[in-house]
Structure 1
Amino acid sequence: MKTIGLLGGMSWESTVGYYQVMNEEVNARLGGLHSAKIIMHSVDFEPLRQQMLDCDWDTIGEHLAGVARILEQGGADMIVIGTNTMHKVAPQIQAAVSVPVIHIVDATGEEARRAGFLKVGLLGTIFTMEDGFYADRLREQGVDVVVPSAEDRKIVDWVVFNELCKGVLNGDSRSEYLRIIEDMVEHGAQAVILGCTEIGLLVRPGDTAVPMLDTCRIHALKAVDIALT
């Protein structure tokens, strides 16, 4: 079994999900007392959040690249960045290590195509929804993307950082997310990507008939696939 290097803490709420899914899946496949081989480095998110607001992505990339090197030196056979937004600096992180960075957009695009979804809605932080690093990479894989309106993007982003990253699950926010999901479906989305790894904590499959692609779970399962090959 290969060792997964998990770059976590952004936020730690979703990092818990990664750890749980990876271990549950390894045990389901191998049985007994098997669990995933994981090295995790959980960062302090607050300084990174301020750098995000300052659009200081070079500093963020430099910091996370350094963490990835630590994981590799500790024996990681791959790097998993446990967040969607920080894949904006995935090229910088990949350049810093010799082991592969398992890209969340590639894993999600693969799952969307497997399910036959060629046009999807995208929920996430402002950076994920508005910057080209996410939607453009999906389109390169043949998956078209719909994003919420400008006002709804602000709502989605506010809920992520002011509630979900703090473990707050608000019913009114869930209702707003479901409204936004339905609006994207009206604009042609066949499914919706939960493109922030915390969103799956708030919106679950039973909340709507719209198919949802939970990036935290998809990404974690992809890492297990690679770890067990």
Structure 2
Amino acid sequence: MRKIGIIGGTTPESTCYYYRKYIEISREKFGPFTFPELLIYSINFGEFKNNPRGWEGRKEMLIKAAKALERAGADIIALSANTPHIVFPEVQASLKVPMVSIIDALIEELKRRGVKRVLLLGTKTTMTADFYRNALKEAGFEVVTPSKEEIDEIDRVIFEELAFENLKSKPYLVGLIERYVEEHGVEGVVLGCTELPLAIKSGDVSVEVFDTAEIHMRKLIEMAVDF
């Protein structure tokens, strides 16, 4: 099997969720005690989030982490968060080994399930910047994003609550999703932040739930085995 390398710590709670999914999916596929080798480089999230040089500084942190994983023997590398994919091409270009994009894995899953019109939830950057929405639109999907006020509130919930595994705003998130199902005809919700699956699970709402963390980990394990 190929060795998987994950850049984590963005946030620690979502990295823990990735690890739980790694165990769950590996056991589902291979039995109780067989796992692909996994390396995790957990960055300092405070330094990352508040980097004075913005995305240029964050990109350098991610490249440093990715190269460390490459030197440690990782055969495939991933970012365990959606928003940092804003600099995914630059990080990939710095490496000799392949990276696995969470957005590419999501697009593959959306096509597999036959969903066309989705509500995109995530951090403020993910919901408002072009990199994520354009990738989905170019792949043929209709993308709906919340209002400015809702975007601000979802971003606050992510960083002030879910980042500490505080799920008190789950009813708010469920209600928001259902409103967009009723008023905007969305067929699925993309949990485009890897903290959101801590609060929203399949079955919590009346449409398909796309847990990007689980989708990503499934793709990583698939690539670790099929080469």
Taking structure 1 as the reference length, the TM-score comes to 0.94
Aligned match of 2:222: 225
Q: Does 1:174 align with 2:170?
A: yes
Q: Which residue identity does 1:204 align to in structure 2?
A: K
Post-superposition offset of 1:143: 1.5
2: distance between equivalents of 1:87 and 1:61?
A: 10
Post-superposition offset of 1:206: 2.9
Q: Does 1:41 align with 2:41?
A: yes
Aligned match of 1:5: 5
Q: How many residues align?
A: 225
2: distance between equivalents of 1:35 and 1:101?
A: 19
Contact 2:177 2:189 in 1 (8 A): yes
Aligned match of 1:213: 210
Q: Is the alpha carbon distance of 1:55 and 1:194 closer, same or farther for their aligned partners in structure 2, counting shifts above 3 Å? A: farther
Contact 2:126 2:132 in 1 (8 A): yes
Per-residue Cα deviation, 1:83-138 (whole angstroms, up to 9, x for no partner): 01111111111011111110001111111111111111000000000001101011
Q: 1:60 aligns with which of 58, 82, 101?
A: 58
Q: Does 1:193 align with 2:183?
A: no
2: distance between equivalents of 1:139 and 1:109?
A: 10
* 3-state SS of 1:135 partner: helix
Q: Which residue identity does 2:40 align to in structure 1?
A: M
Aligned match of 2:91: 93
Contact 2:191 2:210 in 1 (8 A): yes
Contact 2:107 2:136 in 1 (8 A): yes
Residue pairs, 1:74-223, within 5 angstroms: 74-170=72-168, 173-185=169-181, 186-223=183-220
1: distance between equivalents of 2:131 and 2:180?
A: 20
Q: Is the alpha carbon distance of 1:55 and 1:187 closer, same or farther for their aligned partners in structure 2, counting shifts above 3 Å? A: farther
Post-superposition offset of 1:45: 0.5
Contact 2:48 2:61 in 1 (8 A): no
Q: Which residue identity does 1:162 align to in structure 2?
A: E
Contact 2:178 2:206 in 1 (8 A): no
Post-superposition offset of 1:177: 0.9
Post-superposition offset of 1:55: 7.2
Post-superposition offset of 1:179: 2.0
Contact 2:7 2:78 in 1 (8 A): yes
Report the aligned-residue RMSD. Answer: 1.3
1: distance between equivalents of 2:153 and 2:138?
A: 28
2: distance between equivalents of 1:184 and 1:146?
A: 9
Post-superposition offset of 1:31: 2.0
Q: What are structure 1's unaligned runs of at least 5 residues?
A: none
Taking structure 2 as the reference length, the TM-score comes to 0.95
2: distance between equivalents of 1:220 and 1:134?
A: 19
Structure 1, 181-190 or 154-163: larger mean CA deviation: 181-190
Identity %: 38
Post-superposition offset of 1:30: 1.9
1: distance between equivalents of 2:140 and 2:165?
A: 34
* 3-state SS of 2:50 partner: helix
